Amino acid sequence: MRYTTIGEGERALEVSTLALGAMYFGTRTDEATSFAILDRFLEAGGTFIDTANNYNAWVGGHGRESEDVIGRWLAARGTRNQVTIATKLGAAQKDRSKPLSSTPPHNYQGLSAQVVDREARESLRHLGVDRIDVLYGHVDDRDTPIPETVGAFGKLQAEGLVELSGISNVATWRLAEAHAEARRQGVAPYAVVQQRHSYLYPPPVPPRTNWVNADLLDYAAAGGVDGRTNVTVVAYSPLEQGALARDDKPLFGGSDSAGSRARIRELRAVAQELGATPSQVALAWLMGGEAPALPVIGPSSLDQLEDLLGAADLDLPAEIRERLDAV
C-alpha cells in the first residue's frame, strides 16, 4: 500500500492512497462480511475508510447502518488509532415522508449550521468515536449561504470534534469561494473534495457539478503555493459500478457515450497486455496521473477486495498512459 497526506500543517493526516467505501455495510453487505473486508483492508495497509450518514436509506435501511458497523468494528478490534474515518452529512432525507431524488426537489437536509452541528454529533455517536477525522458536506447546498456552512464546519473543528472538513458534489467555483470564506473567517478550509471520477467522463452539457473536471484538477494542482489552499481530490464511483470490467453493468449518470465505450475497449486491451484487470488499471490511472486522485473502492466481497488491492502498487508505463489518454 502507498500513502499520501491530506490537509496541511497541524491537521495533516497520512492516509492510504486507496480508500475503502463502506456504503452498504450493514444492509446489502452483512456485518460478518463487512468485518472481514475491513480486517483485510487494514491487514493490506489500508487506513482510509469512507461512509456517510444516509447511504443505506437508499436500500431500505435507516441510513446510518454503515456508521454503526464501522463503530462496532472499531470497538471489537481496537483499531481506532490505526484508521482515518470519513463520513458525510447533508444529503439525508429532510422529510421522511418524501423520497430523495437526483433532480430537484432533492429533499436533502442541506448544510445549514443547525444541520451540520446536529448530524455531526449523531455521526460521532453512531461511529462510537470522539472525533471525526474527515467530515464532508455531502452535496453542496446553494440555499444556505457559504459563510454559514463554512462557519459551522469551522466551529466543529475548533471544538475538536472534527479534524478535517471537506465538500462533495460541488462546482469548482463554489469550492474556491468556500476556501476564500474560510480565510476571511480564520477557520480551517475544506481539505478534501469528493467527486465522481473515473477513466470515463460525461459530455459537458448539461453541466454536471458532481463530476471531476479539468478546472478542479487544475485548481487542486495549484494548491500549496502562493498561499493557495491545499485540496485533495477524492474519487467516488471510480469503477463505474462495475461497468469498466463487466458488460452486464450499464453505464449511468451521463457516462454512456460512444467515447466512453471506446475508452472501455482500450482499458480492457491494456489490462490484458499488462496481465492486470480492468479495475486495477482504471484505479492506477486515477492514482498515477499528473493530477492524482484518491479513489474510493466499494467491494462487497473479499474476492472483489483482493482484485482492487492489486491496484495499490501498479504503476502504468508512460506509453500506456499516453495510449489511455489518447482515446
> For residues 192 and 168, what is the distance between their CA atoms, to the nearest angstrom?
8
CA atoms within 13 A on the CB side of 188: 27
The secondary structure of 244-312 as a DSSP string is: TT-TTSPP-TT--SHHHHHHHHHHHHHHHHHT--HHHHHHHHHHTSSS--EEEE--SSHHHHHHHHTTT
Question: Which three three-digit cell numbers place residue 81?
Answer: 488509532
The yes or no reply on domain 3-239+286-315 and CATH 3.20.20.100 is: yes
- The pLDDT value recorded for residue 231 is 96
Please return the burial class of 320, using the count of CB atoms within 10 Å of its CB with bins 0-12, 13-18 and 19+: middle
CA dist 220 and 153 (Å) reads 21
Of 283, 277, 288, nearest in space to 315 by CA: 288
Select from 274, 258, 260, 280 the least CA-distant residue to 320.
274
Residue 321: per-residue pLDDT: 97
H/E stretch holding 42: helix 31-43
Q: Which amino acid is at 112?
A: S
For residue 327, how many other CB atoms are within 10 A of its CB?
13
- Reported as a single tens digit per residue, the pLDDT across 76-106 is 999 999 999 999 999 888 888 887 776 778 8
Q: Which of 243, 307, 310, 309 is nearest to 19 (CA)?
A: 309
Sign of the dihedral through C-alpha 226, 232, 294, 212: negative
- pLDDT at residue 95 in the model: 84
160 DSSP β-pair partners: none
The full set of domain ranges for the chain reads 3-239+286-315
Stated length of the chain = 327
Which residues are part of the catalytic machinery? 55
For residue 99, the model assigns a pLDDT of 79
**C-alpha cell belonging to residue 85:** 474515518
Q: What is the pLDDT of residue 72?
A: 98
Instruction: Report the chain's terminal Cα–Cα distance, integer Å.
Output: 29
Using 70 as the pLDDT threshold, list the residues of the chain that sit under it: 102
What backbone phi and psi angles, to 5 degrees, belong to 36? -65, -40
What's the confidence (pLDDT) of residue 237? Answer: 97
Q: Are 166 and 194 in contact (CB under 8 A)?
A: yes
- The sign of the CA dihedral 278, 282, 285, 287 is negative
Residue 30 in grid coordinates: 452483512
Torsion of CA 87, 88, 94, 97, to 10 degrees: -50
Are residues 230 and 180 in contact, defined by beta-carbon separation less than 8 angstroms?
A: no
pLDDT digits (tens, 9 = 90+) for 162-220: 999 999 999 999 999 999 999 999 999 999 999 999 999 898 888 899 999 999 999 99
At 110 the pLDDT is 95
